[in-house]
Amino acid sequence: MDSNKRPETMTRITTPELAAAFIDEQVAAVKAQVGDKKVLLALSGGVDSSVVAALLIKAIGKQLVCVHVNHGLMRKGESEQVIEVFKNQLDANLIYIDATDRFLDLLAGVDAPEKKRKIIGGEFIKVFDEEASKLEGISFLAQGTIYPDILESDGVKAHHNVGGLPEDMQFELVEPVKLLFKDEVRVVGKALGLPASMVDRQPFPGPGLGVRCLGAITRDRLNALREADAILREEFDNAGLNKTVWQYFIAVPDMKSVGVKNDKRYEGWPAIIRAVNTTDAMSATIEEIPYALLHKITARITAEVEGINRVLYDLTPKPIGTIEWE
């Protein structure tokens, strides 16, 4: 039987009971596969790698070594949440690497989007590889492959994703959720006790804020983007829009306009809000955000974020606009 094919008889996991049964089954399978050997996992904090981490911690505890690489392009609080949940709450064997300077130094002055993606993806592999080679006795590599990745394995996602690992890594793979769809991964994650803020996360591109800090990334503009994005997320959470909007974020272009603040000329960047709905990310429509909320977000961002003096709402559907700005 092709182990990469989901059996037609496999029940869709929709309830905590079905999730519990799946977890028991996978815990046994992982134990049988791994024995007393060590497993390495690149833990980005995204839904798939987080669920795999929680599942493997349950199965093999400290035999799992998680490596979280902070490329400096995470959203506000993300790396902190990975440490809090996995190290502090689940007592995982977690190696945290703050590689912010490495990434931002390499990206300095680079404005072509695909070049930025290549640098981020390439450097991620390098950092992970360096870390892996310091560890001894690793026999397996765990991955958060899910069923759509297998169905779409035309290389698109592999190209796209920062999590892509070097092909010459000589490890046997552990992929416990590879036959699951995203909604099932979320149900399993909840049953494993992961916080809703982790398992219900909106999609977030591998190159992170790197493709939202448009053009050549600078630390000050990246910080402004991160703070503005945190305000947008907080306000969407408070308004319940996190449950209905598929993806929402801020992009900050590399341009300034004039404004006034405290009776003085204040030049700043615009923060562009994008909030879209879609089923497959191939086309997308624009969410109708209440004006009162847009005014509130505008007031907060312009008052609280250093360097931002305007807030814009992008009304462009896909096509013609892609979801990301670059």
Integer Cα distance of 138 and 36 in angstroms: 11
Integer Cα distance of 200 and 177 in angstroms: 16
- Per CB under 6 A, the list member of 203, 238, 267, 290 interacting with ligand XMP is 203
Q: Does 215 bind ligand XMP (CB under 6 A)?
A: no
Integer Cα distance of 312 and 303 in angstroms: 15
Binding letters toward ligand XMP, positions 97-136, x by CB under 6 A: --------------------x-------------------
Q: Does 322 bind ligand XMP (CB under 6 A)?
A: yes
Binding letters toward ligand XMP, positions 279-318, x by CB under 6 A: --x------------------------------------x
Structure tokens at 184: 């099932």
Closest CA to 201 of 73, 77, 66: 77
Q: Does 324 bind ligand XMP (CB under 6 A)?
A: yes
- Per CB under 6 A, the list member of 79, 247, 298, 302 interacting with ligand XMP is 247
Integer Cα distance of 113 and 110 in angstroms: 8
Q: How far is the CB of 322 from ligand XMP (least distance, A)?
A: 3
Stretch that binds ligand XMP, among 2-10, 138-146, 202-210, 224-232 (CB under 6 A): 202-210
Integer Cα distance of 241 and 235 in angstroms: 8
CB atoms within 10 A of CB 157: 15
Nearer to ligand XMP, 205 or 268 (CB): 205
Stretch that binds ligand XMP, among 134-142, 177-185, 201-209, 214-222 (CB under 6 A): 201-209
Q: Does 201 bind ligand XMP (CB under 6 A)?
A: no
- Residue 72: Cβ-neighbour burial (10 angstroms; 0-12, 13-18, 19+): buried
Kindly list the distances between the CA atom of residue 41 and the CA atoms of 34, 85, 158, in Å, as whole numbers in the listed order.
14, 16, 17
- Per CB under 6 A, the list member of 6, 38, 160, 190 interacting with ligand XMP is 160
Q: How far is the CB of 172 from ligand XMP (least distance, A)?
A: 25
Structure tokens at 219: 């630390």
**Kind and range of the H or E element at 137?**
none
Q: How far is the CB of 114 from ligand XMP (least distance, A)?
A: 9
CB atoms within 10 A of CB 199: 20
* CA trace torsion 47, 48, 49, 50 (10° rounding): 40
Q: Is 275 helix (H, G, I), strand (E, B) or coil?
A: strand
Nearer to ligand XMP, 96 or 204 (CB): 204
- Per CB under 6 A, the list member of 176, 189, 206, 268 interacting with ligand XMP is 206
Q: How far is the CB of 94 from ligand XMP (least distance, A)?
A: 22
Q: How far is the CB of 265 from ligand XMP (least distance, A)?
A: 35
Nearer to ligand XMP, 215 or 268 (CB): 215
Contact 39, 141 (CB under 8 A): yes
Phi, psi (degrees; rounded to nearest 5) at 281: 70, 0
CA atoms within 13 A on the CB side of 119: 22
- Per CB under 6 A, the list member of 189, 205, 268, 307 interacting with ligand XMP is 205
Integer Cα distance of 276 and 175 in angstroms: 31
Q: Does 156 bind ligand XMP (CB under 6 A)?
A: no
Residues that bind ligand XMP (CB under 6 A): 117, 160-161, 203, 205-207, 211, 247, 281, 318, 322-324
